[in-house]
Structure 1
Amino acid sequence: MDFTPTEAQLDLARLTGEICAKLVTADRLRELDTAGRFDEQLWKALAETGVLAAALPEALGGSDFGALEQTAILRELGKSVAAVPYLWSIAVGADALARFGDEAQRALAARAGTGEIVLTAALAEPLHATTDLPSIVAGEDGGWTVTGTATTVAFADRAERILVPATVSGQPAVFVVDPAHTSVTRTAQQVVDLAPEFLVEFAATPAELLGTVETGAEVLARLREQAWLGLSAAQLGTLERALELTAEHTRTREQFGKPLGSFQAVAQRLSDAYIDIGGLRLTVTQAAWRVAEGLPATEAIHIAKFWAADAGHKVAHTVVHIHGGLGIDRDHIAHNYFTAAKHNEFALGAATPHLLALGAELASA
């Protein structure tokens, strides 16, 4: 693999970082630290500068960049613990509609790229579930309806469409659902970082098939892998910035007349965190590169998500322990990075489920 960043990666990372540095201040994070957090100002800026559309096909108003560039954006958003739905609306939703959708569905992807609408996906079921998903039935007019429940659906309150994995004759398929329909109920759920996530109930809700029934497994695999990789990239940025803040804290905070970082135990904890983040950086880069090159990437993505969970757990707790009482003070920025890291750790599977999934992949090879 080639570790050299592409020019587009560097440019998009720089642009995204500059926007976030300008708009996502510590005061802004405290202001947004409420249930259903969403930074509308940042979302608008990302749309106006072309960041949202960058990975979409040129025919849909994008620049046709790939996984490497997309993970570069997510990494920068993770550094600012940005309260925007880039992962769900662009990396997952718009990507799938652009890749598998019909003309009308691709038009939705284009609108998402301008920031006009938000897309999301209902992916919180077990990693490889093809049962216990919402059920689909064919209507008399040849249409489809979806019935069932999905948990922790991100930004479902703002979404124009939800991509819903479901079963058709025992086989997985993905459907596009309008959450504003009267048969849909959205109930807010409380999660660790106060992100807007919802329990969504469908009661014979009209739905559009994404792709075909025969390609349903492929569409669902793409949705899941984009989400796992995106979470891992965001986690990388979150942990990198959290470690920077913690290192700065140990240089300026004194105990017994000495900088906190001069104590051996503190230095060891920081060193371990540095190594863990290095492992996550390597695995995210490997997974994104394989996706960008069109190579089989499922194993690499599971490895990246394992590191995102395992390193996320260890680094997040290191940040809190070294900050001491400040680490659990909701007015201190360390709190935002701890809760973001814990959210990314458990979202769509913690370390053990991804190790089990990796083992299953290796055993079937």
Structure 2
Amino acid sequence: MDFDYTEAQQDLSGLARALFADWTGYNPRPDTTGFDRALWRAMAAAGLLEAALPERVGGNGFGLLEQCSILTEIGWSVAPAPYATGIAVAAATIGEFGDDEQVTRWVRPVLRGEATIAPALAGSAVAFEGSAQPNGLLLNGIQPVVAAGAFAETFLVEVRAGARSVLALVDRDTEGLTVTGQHVVNGTDAAVLELRDAPVTEAGLIRVPGAAEWARRRATLATCALQLGILARALELTCEYARARKQFDKPIGSFQAVRQRLADAYIDVEAVRLTLWQAAWREQQGLPAEMEIAVAKFWAAQAGHRVAHTAVHVHASTGIYLDYPMQRYFTAAKRAEFEGGSGTAQLRRIGDLLADHAARADPSYARGMTAPDATGMSRRS
């Protein structure tokens, strides 16, 4: 594959960089929601929200690669914009699998900058169960740490209905829905989502097979793209600091131990970059990408941990001051490290995929496999 940006990626990346330039020094209060409605409306006015969505929803017809370019710029500035959840996952999923009425009701307000949608997708297991009722489902369950849930007008909820997952669009004012805000490492945008006999009609259901799995893959790739921007800017700030900060009348960047850590951080950032674009390209081309996405998320998690800590260590105590930009990148990187599964979880996922591949190639290999667990994956005994 060609790792160079397409013309559309370059244009959207440049537009996003210019729009987010004022936010690179943004230091929110610790109790901020991490969402600025004025910025969200500015993104809509600039065409960033609609650019990388299908034409059928009012977008410009670009796709996943362009979304990742925008997300990388959001990570670079740590701008308070829920593009990953509201556009790259929710709006993209509805645009791909929803009907025209669902697009009009839920996606168009988002593209105008008037609303947001928060996905509540399965982690290790599906958190919500749907029981059949006339013209729809009754939803029950609880899921914590729903990103962007504190302020979202609508939730895209993965629901177990019978033997498979479906997606339900649940408005905030739905009877039986309780939203409780949570304070996570870098703000208060997350929420506990609780559904108790909450009704959803067929008009709010997406029953297309594979839609939930598609949304989960896009969510993981969105996290990786954000992490790439976060780490690239954190490393840039750290290198600038190492050139300017002096000890013993020499820049600390001239000391071998510091140079080695910065060199390792550079390798980590490039690993995130290469694995992200490989996985995103395969996903956009409709090729099998489960392994590549797991590898990309592994690097986003492991490299995120190492680069974030290197940045703070080189900055010394300055790196954790609340009025200094580096603490925003540290906390954002730590959140992205665990969003969608830690590095260890990704290694287990990769091991499961390799085992399944071996079992298909050699049926005798399956004799050592146990029944699928809650994630739907088999594990060797």
User: Of 149, 152, 155, which aligns to 1:162?
Assistant: 155
Q: Equivalent residue of 1:30, what SS?
A: coil
Q: Equivalent residue of 2:96, what SS?
A: helix
Quote how far apart the aligned CAs of 1:270 are. 0.2
**Counterpart AA for 1:278:** E
Inter-partner Cα distance in structure 2 for 1:227 and 1:195: 20
> Equivalent residue for 1:136?
130
Quote how far apart the aligned CAs of 1:257 are. 1.2
Contact 1:189 1:197 in 2 (8 A): yes
Quote how far apart the aligned CAs of 1:206 are. 1.4
Quote how far apart the aligned CAs of 1:32 are. 4.9
Inter-partner Cα distance in structure 2 for 1:255 and 1:359: 46
Quote how far apart the aligned CAs of 1:269 are. 0.3
Quote how far apart the aligned CAs of 1:144 are. 1.1
Deviations 1:298-337 (A, max 9, x none): 1111111110000000000000100001011111111010
Inter-partner Cα distance in structure 1 for 2:325 and 2:150: 27
User: Of 248, 251, 269, which aligns to 1:277?
Assistant: 269
> Equivalent residue for 2:164?
171
1:274–1:195 Cα change, 3 Å: farther
Deviations 1:27-74 (A, max 9, x none): xx2235433121222211111010000122213221111111110000
Would you say how many aligned residue pairs link Structure 1 and Structure 2? 354
Q: Equivalent residue of 1:207, what SS?
A: strand
Inter-partner Cα distance in structure 2 for 1:190 and 1:33: 9
**Residues 1:118 and 2:116 are matched in the alignment:** yes
User: Of 270, 274, 289, which aligns to 1:297?
Assistant: 289
User: Of 145, 150, 170, which aligns to 2:138?
Assistant: 145
**Counterpart AA for 1:205:** A
1:286–1:25 Cα change, 3 Å: closer
Unaligned runs of 5+ in 1: none
> Equivalent residue for 1:90?
87
Inter-partner Cα distance in structure 1 for 2:177 and 2:33: 19
> Equivalent residue for 1:222?
214
Q: State the Cα RMSD in Å.
A: 1.4
Which structure 2 residues correspond to residues 299-338 of structure 1 after superposition, within 5 A? 299-338=291-330
Q: Equivalent residue of 1:35, what SS?
A: coil
Q: Equivalent residue of 1:42, what SS?
A: helix
% identical aligned pairs: 44
Unaligned runs of 5+ in 2: 358-381
Deviations 1:168-221 (A, max 9, x none): 123222211112223111111111111400001101111245332xx34x1111
Inter-partner Cα distance in structure 1 for 2:58 and 2:135: 33
**Residues 1:255 and 2:255 are matched in the alignment:** no
Contact 2:175 2:199 in 1 (8 A): no
**Counterpart AA for 2:68:** T
Inter-partner Cα distance in structure 2 for 1:232 and 1:247: 22
Inter-partner Cα distance in structure 1 for 2:244 and 2:75: 25
- TM-score norm. by structure 1 comes to 0.94
Contact 2:130 2:139 in 1 (8 A): yes
Inter-partner Cα distance in structure 2 for 1:318 and 1:96: 36
Inter-partner Cα distance in structure 2 for 1:64 and 1:49: 16
Deviations 1:132-155 (A, max 9, x none): x2111112x332110110111122
Quote how far apart the aligned CAs of 1:25 are. 4.1
> Equivalent residue for 1:193?
186
Contact 2:122 2:158 in 1 (8 A): no
Q: Which moved more, 1:234-243 or 1:108-117?
A: 108-117
User: Of 36, 40, 48, which aligns to 1:39?
Assistant: 36
Q: Equivalent residue of 1:187, what SS?
A: strand
**Counterpart AA for 1:64:** G
**Residues 1:238 and 2:221 are matched in the alignment:** no
Contact 2:52 2:59 in 1 (8 A): yes
Q: Equivalent residue of 1:159, what SS?
A: coil
Inter-partner Cα distance in structure 2 for 1:182 and 1:118: 19
